[in-house]
Amino acid sequence: MDYKRLIIRGISYSQTQSGAYALLLEHEESNVKLPVVIGNFEAQSISLGLEKDIHPPRPLTHDLFAKFVTSANYTLTSVIIYQIIDGVFFSNINFKNNDNEEELILDARTSDAVAMAVRFEVPIYTTQQVLSEAGILLELDNPATIDENFSPLEAEGNLASFPLEDLHKLLEDAVKDEDFDAALEIQQEIKRRNKKIE
């Protein structure tokens, strides 16, 4: 299968879900962004995994599992976000046994898979279908006029009443404000209209 490589663009506090964070992944070639809502612990664990100079006094769960993987003489080779159902991402963590080269694939929450990927510095992939269903493409070249005081969250229920060019502007503003929940709603409305045009 032709997998699309993702890079981590950042983690931000979710503006719509209390106590949650948005992990922002990006396809390297198309710049399509994939926002994944994650919990507080997972956000902290991914951040610590990215900051190689910071070491907690006691191992976190992901550090403990990473140590176990290494001690069992396995290598983590990649993470694949292979599916999204009802807004939930499904991922696999791929391992290789260093003794006999056998592969081991474990199902995992995407937040846990990414936390492990940053510890082993391995690539994160997804499929074109996941990018098409949940990806957000920020089109900066699209000229649009819209009220600057308008909030995308207020618009979510009324997106059908906006012209397409205004939706592109709303999408751009939502991504700039790191409001990925609203951006996803707007992107879905744009895709729904594009399907009608086709």
- Residue 186 in contact with residue 173, Cβ under 8 Å? no
Predicted confidence (pLDDT) per residue in 85-134, tens digit? 988 999 999 999 999 999 999 999 999 999 999 999 999 999 999 998 98
> Quick check: is 139 in a domain?
no
Asked if 115 and 46 touch (Cβ cutoff 8 Å), the reply is yes
- Straight-line distance from the first to the last Cα atom of the chain, in angstroms, rounded to the nearest whole number: 27
Say if residue 54 is in the same domain as residue 122: yes
Based on the fold, state whether residues 14 and 86 are members of the same structural domain: yes
Confidence of residue 195 (pLDDT cuts 50, 70, 90): low
| Domain coverage including residue 171 | 152-197
**Single-letter amino acid, residue 9:** R
Q: Please state the pTM of the whole predicted model.
A: 0.69
pLDDT of residue 143 exceeding 60: no
Residues 126 and 78 in one domain: yes
